[in-house]
Amino acid sequence: MDKHTDVLVIGASASGTCATIQAGRMGARVVLCEPSEWVGGMLTAAGVSAIDGNNLLPSGLWGEFQQAVRCHYGGAQNAETGWVSNTLFDPRVGQDILRSWIDALPNVDLKLGWICAEVIRADDRIRGAHILSAPGEGGGPQQALTVHASVTIFADEYGDALVAAEMPWRVGLESRAQTGEPQAPEQPLAHPQDFTWCATIQTPPSGFAASHEGPTFAPGTEYAGILGSPPISWDRLLDYGRLPGDLVMLNWPTQDAYGDYLTPGTRAAVTRGAREKTARLVTALREAFGPDTIRLPRVYPGGTYALIPYIREARRILAIDTLTTMDLTEANRSPARSTSVAVGDYPLDHHRGNDPDAPSLEFPVISAFSVPYGVLVPRGVDGVLVAEKSIGVTGLVNGCTRLQPVVMQLGQAAGAAAALCASGGTEPREVNVPRLQEVLLDAGVYLVPAMDAPRSAPDFRALHWCGSRSLLELRYVSGGWANRAHLDPDEPLRDEALSLARARVPQDTGRTRSILTAIDAAQDRARAGDRPTRRGFAAKLYAAGREH
């Protein structure tokens, strides 16, 4: 069978799901194929249902999802049940939310249980894929479908589509000489981060473990140090990922596993080993606390263990833009802001404790950051965008772009760009990025990580438009697990901010001349003692820019 569509999305990961929703909402015809039974990837199918980062940056579909979770549980406080996150939920609730959004789009053809068997590439252009259904009941024949797409989005968990498309990729850590990052190792490391097979168990409410001794593990065994040094209590550990409804997400660093999960020949054995490692922890908990206390609910179609492993790192493309640590530590000078399509505030966080060859790394303190559109666009190949954890970032930067809110936004940006390409007959590398940013602003996407410029704020669009063009500087506060950035919209505009804005406007088009005129008017007002606020200044510049 053959099918023609505007957008083909390979993989219903967090990115792939959001790409599908955004492109579908823009009216594009979308085919989404996914090998597992669920959409949402690490949000749902991998069981990582405690959101890392962006709590105060509810950008785009991530913000919609956060709000839907809060509404489901009757308020934000009811979704703040574990100390690792401000937004925690039953994976089934997350699945229901995402499926309801997809099912509301009649132009989306969702194919769960379908794999990408072959990517169609001709003349350095991706033109679709051959996909196969799972075998029928009793080993019946598979269905086969050739999907011809104007634009294809690779959003699978491992980056397998890159191999199928014969596109160059990299994994692990690049050397200092390759990226110029001062923190990079002297020698490259071609190993991905550790991964985890999560489980969702059920326990009594918080505090139940105080009257139990809990499991003990012999020195030198895999879980010997699970409580840390100095040790925390079992209550504290279980409350880490406590979800609403007395559920507990088991995703503790001691569960991490290491191995070559990228090579198809070793993947099954390596990931099975991670699942068995988590199963040994579950068994120990049940033996210590009792099977009536630690229960195994049927959260996923197969039971209490997640459908897929939680992969922190996939194959990464060679993109037209590459995000490096310099973009994160020198954020006000980074060119990434000018073409931003997503934001994040999480620090650099790597899991490499089980890799015997992992170098000792000192991660820099970073700023809240913007992610440029170009990380989604591979070099030398047309007709394709790449999302999830396969974007154009260095191995170090993967430590902060791999989190759920960031990949959701990147998927949304890929879906918007694909819909624009399909309707306009253009290639992803030809996308008019200012136009794409306007579409994303329509959807409540943040272009800069300013926590004081929320989508509900007056002049949300103007503030983010000016911030992304560096016409307004951000004030960064770095440190901890959530970096902060501010535009200070209600502060009076200082003379140095006016001068800086003027210096950053090129004087070559009608639009920029209009912006310069608006800056001059603000300067005249300031000299007369009528100093505008930064919000008012942004509104004037945005209006001037929109006039042309």
Condensed to tens digits (0 to 9), the pLDDT of residues 518-535 reads 999 999 998 999 999 999
pLDDT tens digits, 115-129: 999 999 998 999 999
Between 135 and 74, residue with greater pLDDT:
74
> Hey, where are the domains in the chain?
2-175+313-442, 199-289, 460-547
Residue 229 CA to residue 219 CA, distance in Å, equals 13
List the structure tokens of 194. 């550790």
pLDDT tens digits, 372-417: 999 999 999 999 999 999 999 999 999 999 999 999 999 999 999 9
**Would the pLDDT of 548 be above 70?**
no
Percent of the chain scoring above 70 in pLDDT: 98
Mean of the per-residue pLDDT values of the chain: 95
Please, what's the b/e burial string for 151-170 (b: 16 or more CB within 10 A of its CB; e: otherwise)? bbbbbbbbbbbbebbebebb
Q: Please give the CATH architecture assigned to the domain spanning 2-175+313-442.
A: 3-Layer(bba) Sandwich (3.50)
**pLDDT given at position 138:** 67
Contact 149, 127 (CB under 8 A): yes
**Three-state DSSP class for residue 92:** helix
* 479 sits in which H/E element: none
DSSP of 506-527, one letter per residue?
A: -SSSHHHHHHHHHHHHHHHHHH
**pLDDT given at position 331:** 78
Nearest to 496 by CA among 529, 534, 468: 534
* 224 sits in which H/E element: none
Cis before 230? omega within 30: yes
Give whole-number Cα distances, 305 to 200, 226, 270, 272, in Å.
6, 20, 16, 12
Give whole-number Cα distances, 412 to 32, 136, 276, 443, in Å.
14, 33, 34, 9
Give whole-number Cα distances, 67 to 47, 306, 413, in Å.
19, 24, 20
**Would the pLDDT of 509 be above 70?**
no
Any bridge partners for residue 146, and if so which? 2, 130
Angle value at C-alpha 450, between 342 and 80, nearest 5 degrees: 85
Contact 261, 315 (CB under 8 A): no
Question: Per-residue confidence at 299, pLDDT binned at 50, 70, 90?
Answer: very high
pLDDT tens digits, 160-201: 999 999 999 999 999 999 999 999 999 999 999 999 999 999
Instruction: Give the torsion sign (CA, 53, 57, 63, 67).
Output: positive
Percent of the chain scoring above 90 in pLDDT: 89
pLDDT tens digits, 75-117: 999 999 999 999 999 999 999 999 999 999 999 999 999 999 9
pLDDT tens digits, 20-68: 999 999 999 999 999 999 999 999 999 999 999 999 999 999 999 999 9
pLDDT tens digits, 482-493: 899 999 999 999
CB atoms within 10 A of CB 361: 15
Question: Per-residue confidence at 332, pLDDT binned at 50, 70, 90?
Answer: confident
Backbone angles phi, psi at 353, to 5 degrees: -65, -20
Backbone angles phi, psi at 103, to 5 degrees: -65, -20
**pLDDT given at position 17:** 99
